[in-house]
């Protein structure tokens, strides 16, 4: 177990809120001198008891006080105060939290006063590290706190919270119990060599291979978690001059891509982060899809198809005003829809509605819906009455014509204009709602969330594979027993029952100072 160093017996302090102006700041202390320090610098507003001090405060009860600088004999701020007594606190030590008015100078001044009164400045993650040392949390929970702080999606937040609440630990303990179960069977073969255990031999291989699948599933969950944490990929695709770069600029609200009437302007992809409400996604503008003899443009088009394969959502842009008449839909666009990966969410975006009159737009929309239904078996219902913007269609249902080429991944159809901003905001909202649906449809909210956990689980799996191979090769049972025990030890390391100082230093340095 990690040994407590002398400097970790100090009383520590830190500002726990981001620097800047705000209504309230939080300054936190942890350690045996917390109350003594507060007795020096806090004057309480109460008439119930004369000479009321921090020592008289009930734990976990909010008090109003003045902050007093005894070096200059002056009150410098009014604040709130809460005391949490050991061991019933986050760190397991006495914790005092002071809530002065927000402000850079004000907050730093009070922090310096606390330091001059006997505390020292905490280093990154020291509060959480003390919680771990004092057995308030285990290493998995410590890592989950950092994942919650860094969460960028609903799914990653749910997974991190489940990790904090012990669900990942429970899952790993089930794996550990299965390890112990097959270890017990091997120990039986070692302890009673004269007995014939045909059922045990059969059981070992069956349970061992089942356990192997569970561990592999958990290892793979790390890649899914990382992909989800980084946000979904949205690619803007379509033929040249459909308005892809214009749409990117409108979504980002800045001139990021060059816009030109000349087809093939975008030859390489442009990648940007787009913040939608409280979520971040990666949006990519790509080269126009067409047959080209230009080697550079052709390379860009080939790369576009590779980017599409890696995407989660495809915004496929189509020039609604293209063609000789209103009863025209380009066959190349329909071919793209037909061949699109069914695992992708496809949104058909018909751009340049400003080039059609209102009557022409109504006629064109009706024709497009008819063509989509006849070729792909999808009915659409107009959302004009609900949206009130005259430009939006959503998927209603899949037709029962099983002989039709089905493409259930068409999530919706939008009619927009990047020229006059028609339905740009509606498209953004739909993207946000679609992202939530994709995240909620992902597998269970339990996953390996750090490379440390993944590496240890991989080592545990290697030990299990070695044990199974050793068993199949009829090698001594003692070797199998050693491999299984090593596999169990690696699981213990994930939870943090056995660890070292280097691991802790690597983990906690990623935290902010006040956490």
Tell me what the mean pLDDT of segment 261-271 comes to.
55
The pLDDT assigned to 456 comes to: 94
What topology is assigned to 232-440 in CATH?
Rossmann fold (3.40.50)
Please report which confidence band the pLDDT of residue 286 belongs to, taking 50, 70 and 90 as the band edges: confident
Range in 21-30, 399-408, 414-423, 484-493 the model is least confident about: 399-408
The pLDDT assigned to 405 comes to: 40
Q: Are 379 and 390 in contact (CB under 8 A)?
A: no
Q: Are 231 and 282 in contact (CB under 8 A)?
A: yes
The pLDDT assigned to 398 comes to: 45
Could you tell me what percent of the chain has a pLDDT over 70? Answer: 81
For residue 23 the two structure tokens come to 């209504």
The pLDDT assigned to 263 comes to: 47
Neighbouring CB atoms inside 10 A of 78's CB total 14
d(CA 426, CA 423): 5
Query: Which of 109, 9, 98, 8 minimizes the C-alpha distance to 54?
Result: 98
Provide CATH code, domain 149-228+447-508. Answer: 1.20.120.430
Provide CATH code, domain 6-137. Answer: 3.30.1360.120
The pLDDT assigned to 296 comes to: 56
The pLDDT assigned to 5 comes to: 44
Please report which confidence band the pLDDT of residue 239 belongs to, taking 50, 70 and 90 as the band edges: confident
For residue 136 the two structure tokens come to 């308030």
Q: State pLDDT tens for residues 101-111.
A: 998 999 999 99
Q: State pLDDT tens for residues 460-507.
A: 999 999 999 998 998 888 999 999 999 999 999 998 765 567 667 777
d(CA 353, CA 264): 21
Please report which confidence band the pLDDT of residue 387 belongs to, taking 50, 70 and 90 as the band edges: very low
Query: What 3-state class would DSSP assign to 385?
Result: helix
Tokens 């047959």 found at:
291
Q: State pLDDT tens for residues 297-356.
A: 556 666 677 777 777 888 888 888 887 778 777 777 777 777 777 777 888 888 998 998
For residue 434 the two structure tokens come to 């679609």
CA 56 → CA 29, 80, 406, distances in Å?
A: 17, 15, 73
Supply the DSSP symbol for 280: E
Please report which confidence band the pLDDT of residue 440 belongs to, taking 50, 70 and 90 as the band edges: low
Question: What is the CA 81 to chain-centroid distance, rounded?
Answer: 33
Average pLDDT, the chain: 81
The pLDDT assigned to 362 comes to: 83
The pLDDT assigned to 388 comes to: 38
Please report which confidence band the pLDDT of residue 4 belongs to, taking 50, 70 and 90 as the band edges: very low
Does residue 200 or residue 460 have the better pLDDT?
460
The pLDDT assigned to 345 comes to: 84
d(CA 436, CA 153): 9
Q: Are 405 and 377 in contact (CB under 8 A)?
A: yes
d(CA 377, CA 318): 20
The pLDDT assigned to 429 comes to: 86
| Domain spans of the chain, in order of start | 6-137, 149-228+447-508, 232-440
For residue 87 the two structure tokens come to 């061991």
Q: State pLDDT tens for residues 59-93.
A: 999 999 999 999 999 999 999 999 999 999 999 99
Tokens 């969950």 found at:
221
């Amino acid at each position: 177990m990690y040994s407590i160093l002398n400097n970790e017996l100090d009383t520590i302090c830190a500002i726990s809120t981001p620097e800047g102006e705000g209504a309230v700041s939080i300054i936190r202390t942890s350690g045996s001198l917390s109350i003594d320090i507060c007795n020096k610098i806090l004057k309480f507003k109460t008439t119930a008891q004369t000479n009321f001090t921090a020592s008289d405060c009930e734990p976990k009860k909010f008090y109003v006080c003045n902050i007093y600088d005894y070096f200059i004999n002056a009150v410098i701020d009014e604040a709130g105060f809460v005391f949490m007594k050991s061991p019933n606190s986050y760190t397991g030590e006495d914790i005092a939290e002071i809530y002065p008015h927000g402000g850079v100078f004000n907050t730093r001044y009070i922090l310096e006063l606390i330091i001059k009164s006997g505390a020292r400045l905490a280093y990154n993650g020291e509060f959480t590290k003390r919680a771990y040392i004092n057995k308030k949390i285990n290493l998995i929970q410590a890592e989950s706190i950092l994942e919650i702080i860094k969460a960028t999606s609903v799914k990653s937040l749910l997974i991190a919270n489940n990790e904090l609440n012990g669900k990942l630990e429970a899952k790993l303990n089930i794996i550990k119990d299965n390890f112990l179960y097959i270890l017990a069977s091997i120990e039986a073969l070692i302890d009673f060599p004269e007995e014939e255990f045909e059922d045990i031999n059969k059981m070992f291989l069956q349970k061992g291979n089942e356990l192997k699948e569970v561990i592999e599933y958990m290892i793979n969950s790390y890649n899914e978690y990382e992909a989800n944490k980084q946000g979904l990929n949205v690619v803007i695709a379509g033929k040249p001059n459909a308005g892809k770069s214009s749409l990117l600029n409108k979504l980002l609200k800045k001139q990021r891509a060059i816009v030109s009437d000349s087809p093939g302007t975008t030859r390489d992809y442009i990648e940007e982060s787009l913040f939608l409400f409280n979520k971040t996604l990666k949006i990519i503008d790509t080269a126009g899809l067409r047959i080209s003899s230009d080697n550079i443009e052709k390379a860009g088009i080939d790369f576009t198809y590779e980017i599409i394969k890696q995407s989660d959502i495809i915004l496929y842009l189509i020039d609604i005003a293209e063609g000789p008449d209103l009863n025209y839909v380009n066959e190349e666009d329909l071919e793209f829809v037909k061949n699109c990966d069914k695992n992708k969410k496809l949104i058909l975006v018909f751009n340049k509605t400003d080039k059609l009159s209102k009557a022409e737009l109504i006629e064109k929309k009706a024709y497009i819906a008819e063509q989509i239904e006849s070729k792909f078996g999808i009915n659409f219902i107009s959302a004009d009455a609900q949206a009130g913007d005259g430009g939006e269609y959503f998927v209603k249902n899949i037709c029962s014509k099983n002989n039709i080429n089905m493409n259930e991944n068409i999530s919706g159809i939008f009619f927009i204009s990047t020229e006059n901003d028609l339905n740009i905001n509606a498209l953004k909202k739909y993207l946000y709602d679609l992202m939530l649906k994709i995240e909620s449809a992902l597998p269970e909210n339990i996953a390996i969330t750090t490379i440390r956990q993944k590496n240890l689980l991989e080592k545990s799996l290697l030990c299990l594979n070695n044990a199974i191979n050793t068993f199949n090769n009829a090698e001594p049972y003692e070797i199998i027993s050693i491999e299984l025990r090593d596999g169990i030890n690696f699981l213990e390391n994930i939870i943090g029952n056995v660890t070292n100082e280097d691991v802790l230093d690597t983990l906690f340095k990623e935290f902010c100072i006040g956490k």
